[in-house]
Amino acid sequence: MFPQAGLTDRRKFLFAAASVAGVAGSSAFAQAAEQKAPPGAFHFDVPADPTKEQGRAVAADGGYGSRSQFETEVRWRYPTPNDLTSWSMTPLDKMLGNLTPSGLHFERHHGGIPTIDPAKHSLIIHGMVDTPKKFSINDLKRLPSVTRKHFIECSGNGLTEWNKPTMKTVQGTHGLLSTSEWTGVQFATLAREIGLKEGSAWVLAEGADAAVMTRSVPMEKMLKDALIAYGQNGEALRPEQGYPLRLLLPGYEGNTHIKWLRRLEISDKPFMTREETSKYTDLLGDGKARQFSLDMDAKSVITFPSGDMKLPGAGFYNIQGFAWSGRGRIQSVDVSVDGGKTWYPARLDSVPEPICTVRFSFPWVWDGKPAVLQSRCTDETGYVQPTLKQLIAIRGSNGPFGSIYHLNAIQSWAVNEAGDVANVHA
Ligand SMILES: Nc1nc2c(c(=O)[nH]1)N[C@H]1C(S)=C(S)[C@@H](COP(=O)(O)O)O[C@H]1N2
Ligand SMILES: [Mo]
C-alpha cells in the first residue's frame, strides 16, 4: 500500500535490533544483517521497555478507573454567552465503537446541571389515571427492567449547516449525537401500576432542572418503548445525562428525552409547552410550521477522513463513519468519492441494532486528485438519506439558518490535491 514507507521502516527495525544486541552498529553491519536475515524474519524496536520495572501501584481500595493519560480527547463546547445554556459535542472522529464513552456523551443544557440526591428524588405520575403514584428511585429499581442500546441526537444537530458549510470538523457538524446502553423501567410497566383512564392520549414529562423542561409525548409512543432510565453504560446516569432519572424515547428528537425526570402527567391532549410551540418546530417554505416532528430520520456521516484532517499522500485509506435511524435498523450504507456521481456499498462493521448507531467502512485508494467524500444510508423502512438540495426542497429555507432542526442531509467532505479535508456543500 505504501511500498516506499514499508522499506524504510524495515531497515530501521533491523538496524535498531543490531544495536540492542550490543554489536557495533555500522551501516555496513546493518546491511549485512539485512542480507543474512532469513526470509520473513522481523525484529521489533522497543524504545522504552516497560518489562524492566514494576508497574504503577494499584489503589488500596480498588478505586474508580480512569482512561490512559495519553488519551486526551474531550468534547467541544459551542460558544454561548453563559455557562448555563450550552452545547458540548462528542468527538465522533475519535470514537472506537458504536457506544460513546459516558464522559464524552454530548450535553445540551437549558438551565445548568442540577445536583439531585437520589434518596430524596421521586417520580410522580398523575392526571388521567386510576391511582396517582409517587415512585422513589428504589421503588423503580425493584420493578422489572430492560437494557437497550440507543442513540440520542439533538434535533439541532448541524443547525448551522443549512445555508453554507460553517463548522470545520465532524465534531462541530454532527457531534450532538451519542450512543449509550440504557437501563430502566418501561413506562408500560408503570402504566399497569397506576392504571390509565379511558381517553388518555398524551403524557407531559417534566424535568427537575432550573429550565423545568417539559414536553408532551403521545401515549402510543410511551406504551411502545419509553424507558424511565436510571442506568447508562452499566452504571448510574451521569449527572449531565439526567441523574438520577431520565426519560428515554428511542428515535425521538433529543429534546424530548427529559433529564432529571420528576413528573409525568397523563392527559387527553398535548400540553403545548414552550419547547413544542415556539421551539422545536420546523418553519416550512409556505410559512406553516411543522409541529411534533418527533422521529429522527435516517442519517450518516463519514468521520474519517473528515473536516480539518490532512491526508499524508495518495494511497490506501479505510473510510469510516456512523449511520443511524430513529425509525429502526440501518439496512445499508453507500459511499461516494466523487461527490455523489458514483456510489459503492460500504461494509457495516457490526450487526445493526434498532435505533442505534452502526459503524461503516469503505476501502479507498486515493489517487491524489481532488475528491468529494459522501455517505448515504438506507434504513429498514426503505427511507434513503436525502441530499441537502432534496431536503431544502421539502423544508424550505425560512428559518434563521435556512432552517434549524432536523438536518439529516448527506454530508460532503472535499479532499484537495494537498490532502486537506474540508466541509463543503456539493
Ligand atoms: N430537564 C432537561 N431535559 C433535557 C434538556 C434540558 O435542558 N433539561 N435538554 C434536552 C435536549 S435539547 C437534548 S438534545 C437532550 C440532550 O441530552 P444529553 O445532555 O444527555 O446529551 O436532553 C434534553 N432533555
Ligand atoms: Mo436538543
Task: Name the residue among 393, 397, 401, 409 with its Cα closest to residue 159.
Answer: 401
**C-alpha triplet 226, 228, 233: angle, nearest 5°:** 105
Identify the residue whose C-alpha is closest to ligand 1 atom 10: 255
Cβ neighbours, 10 Å, residue 310: 12
Q: Could you tell me the distance, in angstroms and rounded to a whole number, from the CA of residue 54 to the centre of ligand 2?
A: 48
**Does residue 75 have its Cβ closer than 6 Å to ligand 1?**
no
4 by Cβ neighbours in 10 Å (0-12 / 13-18 / 19+) ranks as: exposed
Q: Measured in angstroms, how far is the CA atom of residue 254 from the centroid of ligand 1?
A: 6
Distance 43 CA to ligand 2 centre (A): 52
CA–CA distance, 340 with 374 (Å, rounded to integer): 7
Closest to 372 measured CA to CA, from 415, 409, 411:
415
Of all residues in the chain, what percent are helix, strand and coil, respectively (each to 5)?
A: 20, 30, 50
Task: Decide: 395 in ligand 1 pocket, CB within 6 A.
Answer: no
Question: What own/partner pairs with CB < 8 Å and gap ≥ 24 does 392-399 have?
Answer: 392/162, 395/282, 395/284, 395/285, 396/283, 396/284, 396/285, 396/286, 397/162, 397/163, 397/285, 398/283, 398/284, 398/285, 398/287, 399/162, 399/282, 399/283
Nearest CA to ligand 1 atom 8: 213
Share of the chain above pLDDT 70, in %: 91
User: Which residue's CA is minimally distant from atom 16 of ligand 1?
Assistant: 108
- Tell how far the Cα of 371 is from the centroid of ligand 2, in angstroms: 33
Mean pLDDT for 133-156 is 98
In 120-240, which ranges are continuous DSSP H helix? Answer: 137-142, 170-174, 187-194, 219-225
| Among the listed residues 226, 300, 299, 232, the one whose alpha carbon sits nearest the alpha carbon of residue 264 | 226
Give 206 Cα–ligand 1 centroid separation in angstroms.
11
| C-alpha 207 – ligand 1 centre gap (Å) | 9
Measured CA to CA, the distance from residue 39 to residue 35 in angstroms comes to 10
Decide which of 234 and 293 is more confident.
234
DSSP helix/strand/coil, 5: helix
Atom of ligand 1 nearest to the CA of 154: 14
Which residues are CB-neighbours of 403 under 8 A, at least 6 positions away? 162, 282, 283, 392, 395, 396, 397
Where is 8: in which H helix or E strand? helix 3-20
| Atom 24 of ligand 1, nearest CA residue | 258
Among 77-86, 92-101, 177-186, 361-370, the least confident range: 77-86
**Cα 416 to averaged position of ligand 1 atoms, centre (Å):** 38
- Ligand 1 pocket check for 259: Cβ under 6 Å: yes
Residue range 60-86: mean pLDDT, rounded: 94
C-alpha grid cell for residue 117?
A: 440526591
Indicate whether residue 108 lines ligand 1 (CB < 6 A): yes
Whose cell is 421521586? That residue is: 122
User: Is residue 329 in contact with ligand 1, taking CB distance under 6 Å?
Assistant: no
Q: Which atom of ligand 1 is nearest to the CA of 261?
A: 1
CB 243 near ligand 1, within 6 Å: no
Closest CA to 296 of 183, 181, 385: 385
Residue 207 in this model has a pLDDT that exceeds 60:
yes
**How many A from CA of 110 to the centre of ligand 2?**
9
**Confidence (pLDDT) at 57:** 92
Contacts of 179 (CB under 8 A, 6+ apart): 98, 99, 100, 149, 150, 151, 152, 324, 356, 357
Ligand 1 within 6 A of 264 CB?
A: no
CA–CA dist 248, 342 (Å, integer): 38
Check residue 46 and give its pLDDT.
72
Nearest to 47 by CA among 71, 5, 12, 4: 12
255 lines ligand 1 (CB under 6 A): yes
Spacing, Cα 47 to ligand 2 middle (Å): 47
387-395 average pLDDT score: 93
The closest-lying atom of ligand 1 relative to the alpha carbon of residue 178 is: 21
| Per-residue pLDDT at 266 | 98
Q: Write down all domains in the chain, each with its CATH number in brackets.
A: 76-287 (3.90.420.10), 299-424 (2.60.40.650)
Find the range with the poorest average confidence among 12-26, 74-88, 286-300, 376-390.
Answer: 12-26
Q: In this predicted model, what pLDDT tens digit does every residue of 225-281 receive, in sequence order?
A: 999 999 999 999 999 999 999 999 999 999 999 999 999 999 999 999 988 988 888
The pLDDT score that the predictor gives to residue 70 is: 96
pLDDT band at 290 (very low <50, low <70, confident <90, very high): confident
Residue 174 Cβ contacting ligand 1 at under 6 Å: no
Q: Is 17 exposed, middle or buried (0-12, 13-18, 19+ CB in 10 A)?
A: buried
Among 84, 90, 104, 213, name the best residue to mutate to test ligand 1's pocket (greatest count of ligand atoms within 8 A of Cβ): 213
Question: What phi, psi does 236 have (nearest 5°)?
Answer: -60, 150
Q: Is 106 in the pocket of ligand 1 (CB under 6 A)?
A: yes
Binned at pLDDT 50, 70 and 90, residue 10 comes out as very low
* Average pLDDT score over residue span 285-310: 94
Please say if the pLDDT value at position 28 is more than 50. no
Closest C-alpha among 138, 153, 408, 405 to residue 257:
153
**Res 285 pLDDT > 90:** no
CB 263 less than 6 A from any atom of ligand 1: no
On whether the CB atoms of residues 421 and 305 are closer than 8 A, the answer is: yes
Sorting pLDDT into bands at 50, 70 and 90, what band is 37? low
175 lines ligand 1 (CB under 6 A): no
CB 202 within 8 A of CB 218: yes
pLDDT at 12: 43
Q: In the structure, what pLDDT confidence band is assigned to residue 129 with cuts at 50, 70 and 90? A: very high
Identity of the amino acid at 187 = F
Residue 188 has pLDDT above 60, yes or no: yes
Residue pair 405/282 in contact by the 8 Å Cβ criterion: yes
Output the residue whose Cα is nearest ligand 1's atom 19. Answer: 107
Calculate the CA 320 to chain-centre distance. 14
pLDDT at 31: 52
